[in-house]
Structure 1
Amino acid sequence: MSTPPRRRTRSRRDRHGRGLRGRLVPVHVPLSRSRAEQFDDLVLDAVEDLERRWERELAGVEFAVEDVPWVEHTDQDEAELDSDVLDDAGVPLARLVPARREQGQEVPPRIIVYRRPLELRAHDREDLADLVRDVVVDQVATLLGRDPEEIDPTG
């Protein structure tokens, strides 16, 4: 007579027995979003607010987020920053890539915001939101050839 196979109970730990199996927080909870996703949301909030006021001028502008900037170094190992880079003490925070023609096609202007340098300068989430907004406003002002106070009078 054979005994029925034992049912395996579901483990509450990972396969190495060190921690919980699965996510700690449900997906619909804000805590479950990564820092990069939260940063993307801050940039989107700033851009959406500006697009409401400057819809026609910003119609073709692309906005992007990168973790860290790509910086060319010279022989003396000093970073060379282009004039289209918004920087703080030599560390790029954002870059404005103007519209250009590539392979016979028009490439729209692009504003790139660098996540890690901004996160390192912020004390908390509210400070980061303000910093992101200031950087986006600065880059939009440069793109449109206007004063930042004209782009965002509330800032």
Structure 2
Amino acid sequence: MSSTRVPHGDPSSPLHTHPARNRHGRGARGPLLPVGVPRYTTRSAHFDQLVIDAYAPLHNAYFRELAGVDLAVDTIPRMRLSPDMTVFPDEIIADGPVPLGRVLQAGVDRRGNPTRARFVVFRMPIEQRAATTEERSELVTWVLTALVANYLNLDARTIDPDFPW
């Protein structure tokens, strides 16, 4: 009888059958779906799709005015802000001292190339303020409505009569 030794915990081994440990009763560790399956998406991909879904009705309603505007999602606000700043400029949509979104006007970059206007939504501040998917969706819609209203120089209630601001 021949025995083959397999190093303990070698995931490339065909004999590796150790399930992920649940040491403290906190549930499964790791992704629920394997990375290779079509339904697997990351949290940031879910958020990106949420932003696209919330922006689509605004873009369709003001198609001609927003044709030259790009939409972007950034993880955190990357701006130089003064710590004693209590009032943000109009192009920054914030919840208290934390920016949630920003309008970047068209201009010229460092190399002299023209840039398009851009709406930037900040993912982490929005996710930290929303406990449920529904709250997150409402907050993203609120931020995008405020950004579009600022860009078009309109009152946000003109775009959405139920706007809470």
Could you tell me the TM-score, scaled by structure 1's length?
A: 0.77
Q: Partners in 2 of 1:93 and 1:73 — Cα distance?
A: 14
2:47 pairs with one of 32, 36, 39: 39
Q: Partners in 2 of 1:81 and 1:66 — Cα distance?
A: 22
The answer for unaligned runs of 5 or more in structure 1 is none
2:77 pairs with one of 69, 75, 79: 69
Q: CA deviation at 1:134?
A: 0.6
1:96 aligns with 2:103: yes
Q: CA deviation at 1:104?
A: 4.2
1:127 aligns with 2:131: no
Residues 11-70 of structure 1 show CA distances to partners (whole Å, capped at 9, x for unaligned) of 2337xx7589x96325344xx322211111110001112111111111110111111112
The sequence identity of aligned pairs, in percent, is 33
Q: Partners in 2 of 1:49 and 1:37 — Cα distance?
A: 20
Corresponding position of 2:92: 85
Could you tell me the TM-score, scaled by structure 2's length?
A: 0.73
1:72 is paired with a residue whose SS is coil
CA 53–121 in structure 1, closer or farther in 2 if over 3 Å, else same: same
Aligned residue-pair number: 148
CA 129–95 in structure 1, closer or farther in 2 if over 3 Å, else same: same
Corresponding position of 1:141: 149
User: Quick one: which amino acid aligns to residue 101 of structure 2?
Assistant: A
2:100 is paired with a residue whose SS is strand
Over the aligned positions, Cα root-mean-square deviation in angstroms equals: 3.0
The answer for unaligned runs of 5 or more in structure 2 is 6-12, 23-27
1:51 aligns with 2:59: yes
Q: Partners in 1 of 2:69 and 2:92 — Cα distance?
A: 17
